[in-house]
Amino acid sequence: MTHPLLDLPPLGAARFASIEDRVARLLSTGQDVVIMQGEALLPLEGAIRATAGPGTTALNVVTGPYGQTFGDWLRDCGATVIDLAVPFHTAVTAEQVRAAFAEHPEIDFVSLVHAEAATGNTNPVAEIGEAVRAHGALFYLDAVASIGAEPVLPDAWGVDLCVIGAQKAMGGPAGVSAVSVSGRAWARMAANPRAPRRSYLSLLDWKERWIDGGRKALLHAPAQLEMLALEACVERIEAAGLDAVMARHAAAAAATRAGALALGGGLEPYVHDAAEAAPVATTLRAPSGTVAADLVARALSADPALPLAAGGGALAKEMIRVNHYGPEATPGAVRASLAALGAALGEKGLDVDTEGALRAVEAAWG
Ligand SMILES: *Cc1c(COP(=O)(O)O)cnc(C)c1O
């Protein structure tokens, strides 16, 4: 008996290359795109280990937990790391990045997370990219949580290494990921004796054995199911139109923010300025006297399918995350999330207006 997930023909080099080309079109990039056979942490770590070393001075922007991880990898590579940390309720500005260059002209690498699903903020990459280009540093961007939810334009923004994964706003699989690589980034890797080679982390292996060979022979058997799912998910985005998919995420964020404000009870958007709030996910500050993780647990016990989570680590006390991305970027998911939060707050004796919140969701969705 055949099974839809089993007994598939091998995924060949031509099909693999065509999926890379599709991802390149999604990013509007003429740079090389390498699809890596693992979750996005694989190219995120591989790109840092390939380009950073003891001679590197890195400006590492920290607007959430991933920035902290990148700083750890950079230090592990022997780089000198200047952390530019901003509070999680805001975004970094191009001005802050320019000030860091003025203070440390030796900076030759910048790592930045575009949007943070974990903290709900998004950073102005186009403006920051201008500053980075003017300074001449290599620009590394984690766009895992922004791709599909807002524009991601590595060529227009001068991004040298742009990492994406499909599991957030693209509504796709988590087990493969991609990185666009500029000519400058390839040159930096080739000159780095410590860049991984003959390693699962190696981007240079893909350059030398896949790209330079005309993409005729794969390095190893690809993650076939994940590659097919990635192809299907990009096809689905192309059919709907990337702009429409991004608009759906922007509407979900605006509606969640408006609904939370109308709900009352002391619930507030975690990111103060709406312009700095990520379209991929909306974070809320739990009212004083309540614990975010308790409210989320209460809401999920009523409906375990809701896209709700508490913040990670110390943020579990104060941050509620509404993960309205991919299949959850719908009015229904936003309404159900706010109604469940309203019920949980009401049980705590807080005065909430759930009807008003649902009306605000409708009005904001437009
Ligand atoms: C989700 C995400 C990733 C990928 O990490 P997972 O926790 O494995 O999904 C990487 N970077 C950012 C900014 C993300 O939001």
What's the distance, CA 182 to chain centroid?
20
- Residues forming beta bridges with residue 33, ordered by sequence position: 180
pLDDT digits (tens, 9 = 90+) for 244-285: 999 999 999 999 999 999 999 999 999 999 999 999 999 999
Probe residue for ligand 1, chosen from 144, 249, 315 as the CB with the greatest number of ligand atoms within 8 Å: 144
Probe residue for ligand 1, chosen from 62, 66, 323 as the CB with the greatest number of ligand atoms within 8 Å: 66
Distance CA 42, CA 202 (A): 9
Compute the average pLDDT of residues 227-235. 98
pLDDT digits (tens, 9 = 90+) for 94-116: 999 999 999 999 999 999 999 99
What is the reported pLDDT for 41?
98
Instruction: For ligand 1, say whether the CB of 165 is within 6 Å of any of its atoms.
Output: yes
Q: What is the DSSP string of 299-351?
A: HHHH-TTS-EEEPSGGGGTTEEEE---GGG-SHHHHHHHHHHHHHHHHHTT--
H or E segment to which residue 154 belongs? helix 154-157
